[in-house]
Amino acid sequence: MRRRFWIATVLALCCGDGAVAQEFPARTVTMIVPSAPGGTLDALGRLMAQGMAETLGQNVVVENVSGAGSIVGMQRLVRSAPDGYTIGFGNLGSLAANVAITKELGFDPRKDLTPIGIVANVPMVIAASNKSGARDLGTLLARIRERGDGVTFGTPGTGTTGHLAPAYLLSLTRLQATLVPYRGAGPAMSDLASGTVDAVIDQTVTMIPAHRGGTARALAVTGSQRLAQLPDVPTFAEAGVPEFDMVIWNAIVGPRDIPAPAARRLGEAVEAALASPAVASRFAELATTAPAPEERGPEVLRRRIAADVERWIQVVKDAGITPQ
Domains and CATH numbers, the chain: 27-121+250-319 (3.40.190.150), 123-221 (3.40.190.10)
What distance in Å separates the CA atoms of residue 166 and residue 144, rounded to the nearest whole number? 12
User: What pLDDT score does 51 carry?
Assistant: 96
What's the Cα-to-Cα distance from 231 to each of 104, 165, 208, 226, 234, rounded to whole Å?
42, 22, 11, 6, 8
What's the Cα-to-Cα distance from 185 to each of 22, 201, 298, rounded to whole Å?
38, 10, 27
What distance in Å separates the CA atoms of residue 175 and residue 173, rounded to the nearest whole number? 5
Tell which residue, 158, 153, 155, has the closest CA to residue 102: 158
User: What pLDDT score does 36 carry?
Assistant: 85
User: What pLDDT score does 296 carry?
Assistant: 95
Contact status, residue 131 vs residue 151, Cβ threshold 8 Å: no
User: What pLDDT score does 239 carry?
Assistant: 97
User: What pLDDT score does 265 carry?
Assistant: 98
Tell which residue, 211, 193, 194, has the closest CA to residue 286: 211
175 exposure class (CB count in 10 Å sphere: 0-12, 13-18, 19+): middle
The rounded mean pLDDT for the chain is 90
Torsion angle (degrees, nearest 10) of CA 169, 171, 175, 177:
70
User: What pLDDT score does 185 carry?
Assistant: 85
Contact status, residue 163 vs residue 69, Cβ threshold 8 Å: yes
91 exposure class (CB count in 10 Å sphere: 0-12, 13-18, 19+): buried
Contact status, residue 95 vs residue 312, Cβ threshold 8 Å: no
Q: Which residues of the chain have pLDDT under 50?
A: 1-21
Contact status, residue 154 vs residue 200, Cβ threshold 8 Å: yes
User: What pLDDT score does 5 carry?
Assistant: 41
User: What pLDDT score does 161 carry?
Assistant: 87
User: What pLDDT score does 22 carry?
Assistant: 58
The predicted-structure confidence for 15-74, as pLDDT tens digits, reads as follows 444 444 458 999 999 999 998 888 888 999 999 999 999 999 999 999 999 888 789 999
